[in-house]
């Protein structure tokens, strides 16, 4: 292996970002990942465990970890915290009853030290469903304004069903992570 190829390899590694997708079950995490990747979203079973997708996005390589949200496996989320650059919290905006649970789980997650440096994107999913709460209403319920000042965060309304809002959200996330990590670029 020549020196050049080693340098190239390091360089390529630098352009990688590790993105962790979490949220309650039924919020649409897997559907979002598949939609972004341009895959078929018509048959998706609830995630038993996790999926990893590597996606080239702009000039970056995103390693997206999509971890199942069922109650039983939420305790395993912390196994995926290490070295996370971007955190995506997905909310089912039509599930009004469980917004309490949603807030509690998010609060728990944000206490985690290993995630303290990660940029946080909140996707208020299922905006296409009539009766879903708008992103600003979700922000109020989750009390996002009260978050620590050091945290980079943004909430975006989206629909994994139509694809609306997904690119806006990921554009912000990737830019924000890049501006923190690859300052020299």
Partner 1 sequence: MDEKKTASNAGETEALDDALQKKHLSMLERLSNRHQNRLDNALTRRSESESSSSPSFESTSSFFSRFSDSKRSIESQLAVSRTASSDPTQLKSHFEKISASISDLEKLVAENSYFLPSYDVRASLKTVSDLKQSLENLNSELIPKKKFSFRNKANKKESIAQEVKEPSPLNCSSVISDKTSFAVRESPGLRNRKGEVLMEDFRGKEVGEFTISDLDCCEVRIIGCLRALFVHRLKNCKVYVGPVLGSILIEEVEGCIFVMASHQIRIHTAKKSDFYLRVRSRPIIEDSSGVRFAPYHLTYEGIEEDLRGASLDEETENWANVDDFKWLRAIQSPNWSILPENERVRITNTSTLDNIE
Active site residues: 70
Residues 6+ away with beta carbon under 8 Å from 97: none
Query: How far, CA to CA in Å, does 170 sit from each of 9, 97, 103?
Result: 25, 27, 22
- 8 touches partner 1 by CB under 8 A: no
* Per-residue binder mask for partner 1 (CB under 8 A), 62-81, x = binder: --------xxxx--------
Residue selected from 5, 13, 38, 42 as contacting partner 1 according to rule CB under 8 A: 42
Using DSSP's 3-state secondary structure scheme, residue 68 falls into coil
Q: Is there binding between residue 95 and partner 1 (CB under 8 A)?
A: yes
Q: Which of 73, 61, 26, 21 is nearest to 46 (CA)?
A: 26
Residue closer to partner 1 by CB (options 44, 55) is 44
Adjacent-strand bridge partners of 153: 120
Q: How far is CA 65 from the centre of its chain?
A: 9
Binding mask 123-162 for partner 1 (x = CB under 8 A): ---x-xxxxxx---x--xx-------------------x-
- Computed over its alpha carbons, how large is the radius of gyration of the chain? 16
Binding residues (CB under 8 A) for partner 1: these are 25-26, 42-46, 48, 70-73, 94-97, 99-100, 126, 128-133, 137, 140-141, 161
């Amino acid at each position: 292996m020549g020196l050049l190829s080693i340098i190239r390899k390091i360089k390529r590694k630098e352009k990688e970002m590790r993105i962790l997708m979490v949220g309650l079950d039924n919020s649409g995490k897997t559907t979002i990942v598949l939609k972004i990747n341009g895959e078929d979203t018509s048959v998706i079973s609830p995630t038993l465990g996790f999926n990893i997708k590597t996606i080239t996005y702009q000039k970056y390589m995103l390693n997206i970890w999509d971890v199942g949200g069922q109650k039983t496996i939420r305790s395993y989320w912390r196994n995926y915290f290490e070295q996370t650059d971007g955190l995506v919290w997905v909310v089912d905006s039509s599930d009004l009853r469980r917004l309490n649970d949603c807030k509690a789980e998010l609060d728990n997650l944000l206490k985690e030290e290993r995630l303290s440096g990660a940029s946080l994107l909140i996707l208020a999913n299922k905006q296409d469903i009539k009766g879903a709460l708008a992103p600003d209403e979700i922000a109020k319920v989750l009390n996002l304004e009260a978050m620590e000042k050091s945290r980079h965060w943004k909430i975006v309304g989206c629909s994994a069903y139509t694809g609306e809002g997904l690119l806006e959200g990921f554009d912000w996330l990737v830019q924000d992570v890049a501006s923190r990590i690859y300052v020299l670029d």
